[in-house]
Every structure is written in C-alpha cells, then in structure tokens.
C-alpha cells in the first residue's frame, strides 16, 4: 500500500515511523516532510497548505490512503477535495473540521448535544460592550477569551484582571488575530487537571485510542508563554480505564453521534482537550481534529498493533469491526527541543551535532520537526526542532533516557524544558 502523509512536524515523522513498520505498507510519500522523514519516505516539496498542489500530487501518485497531519489543510477542505477524486483520507471534511476551526461553532455544538464544557457566550465586533458586561457574570478572574478562528495556537488569552480582560476584548475584536478574532468566545474558567484524549472515528463509530498529557508553557514549572507543546507522556495517570470510559460515554460518543446527526460525519482522529476535576468530572476545553504534536509521538511509540487497518477504516468505514489497538505497557515520554526564542522568533541556522549518538541511547527515538538538511549537516530551521522520545519499563526511566539523549545532542542554540512529566512523576 502506498501512503501519503501531509505535514512536516514531529507528529508526521512519528506517523511515518509507525506506518513504515506495517507489513502492508510498501511506500510512504510525505509532503513536504522533513530530513527525519526522508530517511523513511520519499519527500515531495509541496507545502501542507498548498491544497491544489497536494490534490495534483495525489492525482498523480494515487495513494491508497492520505493521512493529513495538521489542522490547516483540514479546515481548508483538503479531505473533501481528495475524496472527490476517490482517494481514501484519514481526516475530517471541512464541515467536520469546524470543531477545531471555529471555537464558536464547537461551543454551540456542545450546547446543542449536551456535552459537558464551560459556560460561554459568543460576541462579534459590534458587541464589545456586551462582552465586557458578560465578564460580570463570572465569579471574578481569571477570564477566558478565545478568538473564534485558527490563530496558530495563540488565540486563547486568560487575563488575570478585569481591566486586562476589557482591554483584550477591544484588542481581539479590533483585529489582533485578524479575521480569526473578528468574533470571540468568552467562557468560564475551569479548574482541574488538563489531559488529552484521542479517539479514532469513521463517521459512525468511535474507538478509544489513548490518553496523554502535554506541557503547553515554554518554561519549567509551567511558566512562560503558551507554545504548541514542549513535551508529553502517555499514558496519563488521570485518564485511567474508568475515566477513559466516562470520556467515551459522556463526550466522544455524543460528539460522533451529534456530528453524524448534524450532517457532518467525523472521520479521522478526534483529539479532546479535557479539564478534569472531582466535582464536574471530565469537561471539554477544546476539540482538535487531528493528532496532537507532540502527543502523537508518545502514542505512536506505544502502539503494539499496526494502526493501518484502523486508519483505513476511519477513511472508508468499518471501524466498528476493528478491535481497540493494543499498546505496550511501557510508558513513553517526549521532550521537545526548540530554538532559543521560541515561541517568539527562534534562533535558526545552527548545525545540530551528535544526533546519531543520541539516537543510540536505549529506548530513544528522535523525531524531527523544524530541521533542514544541508550536505551532511542537519540545520535548525524552525521553532520546535526535535522531539526526543523514549520508552522504558517505568516513566521515570523513560524520562532519564530522554534527557540523556537531549544532553548528548550538540546544539548550543536549542533549549528544552527539564521537567517534562513532573505531574505524573509526582503522583508516583
Ligand atoms: P486552547 O487553545 O483552547 O487549547 O487553550 C489553550 C489553553 O488555555 C488550554 O490548554 C488551557 O490550559 C487553557 N484554557 C482554555 N480554556 C480554558 C477554560 N475554560 N478554563 C481554564 N483553562 C482554559
Ligand atoms: N500539543 C497540542 C496540540 O497539538 O494542539
């Protein structure tokens, strides 16, 4: 089988790495891929947001399955255009990708289908005064303001005072995130522990895949600015089997049923960002319509079974007949190495040395993200550059292995958090 993977991050490298092991996969093409993926697949220089270019590539290559990694091409309708030329796609239609593409849509959807989440209201550019008045309906700060559209992970602002919240309402509705913040959602601040849950869906049925926990802030101790994610581990202790069943029953199944009923069947991986506390149980912080990055890296390294049959079933139906994918019992952790300055302007251009040596640490796999190849050298060329992933019989050992590999890598411009998995390690 020929697989086309769209994207160029650590997530797509992990998908390529796992699928390469499938006995049914004969060829992997990646668009555009990265130097790590290039060791496993043929990389074609078509960007992940070049919809026409990707459709042309698929028309020529006729892959048996296209896996779309990032959200932008999904929201732009890549899956629809590929299905229109009879190519099976792992990933939702543009109408289903609205779950991630519009916060307002996803909140209205949850309200309509009684899916537990924070209380909210939507406001457009003419309603700044109403938006400010709505702040008074909460107990006090922090307030949660969300740009409606995709804003590269930066569209959520959590002001600590009412004055800041009011200024932020003006800035957002005034175009701080361009069209993405032409309207916004204001919602109740939820307390609790955050976790990510992933389920595979074929439009009719959902099958649980795994739980994970991400580290959104750039700095140790969960300080500093929000990022795309600085590290992750799986399993997440808070998402034990009982909690996963609750999430399936109270959130995932009603979501898949609701989307089907509303004429937007969801195909692909549903990534539910959760807030969990004793009083409310699991509630939805947000939906994503693709794998998380770096959560995908820890999920793929823990999969014992070949995920290809499930991925295909998501694309063409029949997931109900598939068993839940078996995972190895060993936990996995991944540490993101980013260029100094990230999530602001990262330092680029430095040569990354000793990658081969680092990759020899037992249990370690290095997935590339923002790297480029120049002759024999690997050069840092993005914000998040490498994701160092490790498995071991215990999470503590996996963490030690991951940092041993991190410390072997010779890249003075890079940084990482030194406390990935602290929450799970603290639980013991
Ligand atoms: P999002 O981009 O929706 O994932 O939001 C970014 C981060 O903001 C989340 O990972 C949470 O940590 C936080 N967040 C978003 N919504 C809420 C909420 N209603 N209550 C508390 N924290 C939130
Ligand atoms: N790591 C969080 C995300 O992919 O959205």
* Nearest C-alpha neighbor of 106 from the set 149, 152, 142: 149
- Which residues of the chain are in CATH 3.40.50.20 domains? 2-93
**Topology, domain 332-427:** 3.90.600
Q: Which of 115, 145, 156 to probe ligand 1 with, by most ligand atoms within 8 A of CB?
A: 156
- The alpha carbon of 293 and the centre of ligand 2 are apart by a number of angstroms equal to 5
Q: What one-character DSSP code corresponds to residue 250?
A: I
- The alpha carbon of 397 and the centre of ligand 2 are apart by a number of angstroms equal to 24
Q: What one-character DSSP code corresponds to residue 25?
A: -
Mean pLDDT of 230-257: 97
How far apart are alpha carbons 374 and 383 in whole angstroms? Answer: 18
Contact indicator for 49, 74 with CB cutoff of 8 Å: no
- The alpha carbon of 275 and the centre of ligand 1 are apart by a number of angstroms equal to 9
User: Which ligand 1 atom lies nearest to the CA of residue 117?
Assistant: 19
Judged by its nearest atom, the ligand closest to the C-alpha of residue 194 is 1
- The alpha carbon of 211 and the centre of ligand 2 are apart by a number of angstroms equal to 13
DSSP states of 68-117: E-SHHHHHTTHHHHHHHTT--EES--HHHHHHHH-HHHHHHHHHHTT--B
Considering the chain, what is the average pLDDT of its residues?
Answer: 95
CB-side exposure of 401: number of CA atoms within 13 Å?
23
- The alpha carbon of 145 and the centre of ligand 2 are apart by a number of angstroms equal to 18
- Per-residue pLDDT tens over the stretch 366-398: 999 999 999 999 999 999 999 999 999 999 999
Higher pLDDT, 245 or 140: 245
Answer whether residue 275 shows pLDDT above 90.
Answer: yes
- The alpha carbon of 261 and the centre of ligand 1 are apart by a number of angstroms equal to 27
- Which residues of the chain are in CATH 3.90.600.10 domains? 332-427
Closest Cα to atom 5 of ligand 2? 292
Which residues' Cβ are closer than 6 Å to ligand 2?
A: 214, 228-229, 288, 292-293, 295
Sorting pLDDT into bands at 50, 70 and 90, what band is 28?
very high
- The alpha carbon of 38 and the centre of ligand 1 are apart by a number of angstroms equal to 35
- Which residues of the chain are in CATH 3.30.470.20 domains? 193-321
- With both helix axes pointing from N to C terminus, report the angle between 253-261 and 103-112 in degrees, rounded to the nearest 10: 100
Mean pLDDT of 189-217: 96
Judged by its nearest atom, the ligand closest to the C-alpha of residue 229 is 2
How far apart are alpha carbons 378 and 401 in whole angstroms? Answer: 22
Closest Cα to atom 8 of ligand 1? 156
Which residues' Cβ are closer than 6 Å to ligand 1?
A: 118, 144, 156, 187, 189-190, 194, 216, 273, 285-286
Query: CA quadruple 244, 253, 296, 322: dihedral positive or negative?
Result: positive
* Nearest C-alpha neighbor of 103 from the set 286, 293, 291: 286
DSSP states of 154-183: --EE--SSHHHHHHHHHHHHTTTTGGGGSE
Judged by its nearest atom, the ligand closest to the C-alpha of residue 217 is 1
- Which residues of the chain are in CATH 3.30.1490.20 domains? 120-187
Sorting pLDDT into bands at 50, 70 and 90, what band is 327?
confident
Q: Which residues pair with 371 in a beta bridge?
A: 380
Please tell us whether the domain made up of 120-187 is placed in CATH 3.30.1490.20. yes
Q: What one-character DSSP code corresponds to residue 295?
A: H
CATH of domain 2-93: 3.40.50.20
Max Cα distance, the chain (Å): 60
Closest Cα to atom 3 of ligand 1? 286
- Per-residue pLDDT tens over the stretch 33-74: 999 999 999 999 999 999 999 999 999 999 999 999 999 999
pTM exceeding 0.85:
yes
User: Which ligand 1 atom lies nearest to the CA of residue 146?
Assistant: 3
Q: pLDDT value at position 324?
A: 80
Distances (CA, A) of 290 to 12, 44, 71, 257, 271: 11, 22, 6, 18, 6
- The alpha carbon of 126 and the centre of ligand 2 are apart by a number of angstroms equal to 31
SS3 of 367-417:
EECCEEEECCEEEECCCEEEEEEEECCCHHHHHHHHHHHHHHCECCCEECC
At the second CATH level, the architecture of 193-321 is 2-Layer Sandwich (3.30)
Query: CA quadruple 282, 288, 293, 298: dihedral positive or negative?
Result: positive
Answer whether residue 173 shows pLDDT above 90.
Answer: no
Answer whether residue 177 shows pLDDT above 80.
Answer: no
How far apart are alpha carbons 428 and 416 in whole angstroms? Answer: 23
Closest Cα to atom 3 of ligand 2? 292
Sorting pLDDT into bands at 50, 70 and 90, what band is 83?
very high
Percent share of the chain, pLDDT over 90:
89
User: Poorest-confidence range of 30-39, 171-180, 194-203, 205-214?
Assistant: 171-180
Q: pLDDT value at position 340?
A: 97
């Amino acid at each position: 089988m020929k697989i086309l993977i769209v994207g160029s991050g650590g997530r797509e490298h992990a998908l390529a790495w796992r699928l390469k092991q499938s006995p049914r996969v004969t060829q992997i093409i990646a668009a555009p891929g990265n130097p790590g993926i290039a060791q496993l697949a043929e990389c074609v220089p078509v960007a992940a947001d070049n919809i026409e270019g990707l459709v042309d590539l698929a028309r020529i290559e006729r892959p048996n399955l296209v896996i779309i990694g990032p959200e932008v091409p999904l929201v732009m309708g890549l899956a629809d255009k590929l299905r229109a030329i009879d190519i099976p796609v792992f990933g939702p239609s543009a109408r289903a990708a609205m779950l991630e593409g519009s916060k307002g849509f996803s909140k209205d959807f949850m309200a309509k289908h009684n899916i537990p989440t924070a209380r909210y209201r939507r406001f457009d550019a003419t309603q700044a005064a109403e938006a400010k008045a709505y702040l008074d309906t909460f107990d006090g700060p922090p307030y949660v303001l969300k740009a409606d559209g995709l804003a590269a992970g930066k569209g959520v602002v959590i002001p600590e005072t009412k004055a800041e919240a009011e200024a932020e309402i003006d800035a957002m509705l005034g175009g701080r995130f361009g069209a993405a913040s032409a309207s916004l959602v204001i919602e109740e601040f939820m307390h609790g522990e955050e976790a990510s849950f992933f389920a595979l869906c074929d439009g009719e049925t959902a099958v649980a895949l795994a739980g994970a926990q991400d580290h959104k802030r750039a700095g140790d101790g969960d300080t500093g600015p929000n990022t795309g994610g600085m590290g992750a581990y799986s399993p997440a202790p808070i998402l034990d089997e009982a909690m996963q069943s609750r999430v399936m029953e109270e959130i995932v199944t009603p979501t898949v049923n609701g989307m089907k009923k509303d004429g937007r069947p969801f195909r692909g991986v549903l990534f539910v960002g959760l807030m969990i506390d004793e009083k409310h149980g699991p509630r939805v912080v947000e939906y994503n319509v693709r794998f998380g990055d770096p959560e995908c890296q820890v999920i793929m390294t823990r999969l014992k079974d070949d995920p290809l049959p499930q991925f295909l079933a998501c694309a063409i139906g029949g997931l109900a007949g598939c068993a839940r994918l078996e995972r190895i019992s060993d936990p996995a952790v991944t540490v993101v190495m980013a260029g100094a300055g990230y999530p602001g302007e990262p330092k680029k251009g430095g040569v990354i040395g000793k990658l081969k040596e680092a990759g020899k640490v037992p249990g370690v796999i290095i997935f590339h993200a923002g790297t480029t190849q120049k002759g024999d050298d690997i050069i840092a060329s993005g914000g998040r550059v490498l994701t160092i992933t490790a498995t071991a019989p215990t999470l503590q050992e996996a963490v030690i292995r991951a940092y041993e590999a991190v410390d072997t890598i010779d890249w003075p411009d890079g940084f990482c958090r030194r406390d990935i998995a602290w929450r799970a390690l603290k639980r013991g």
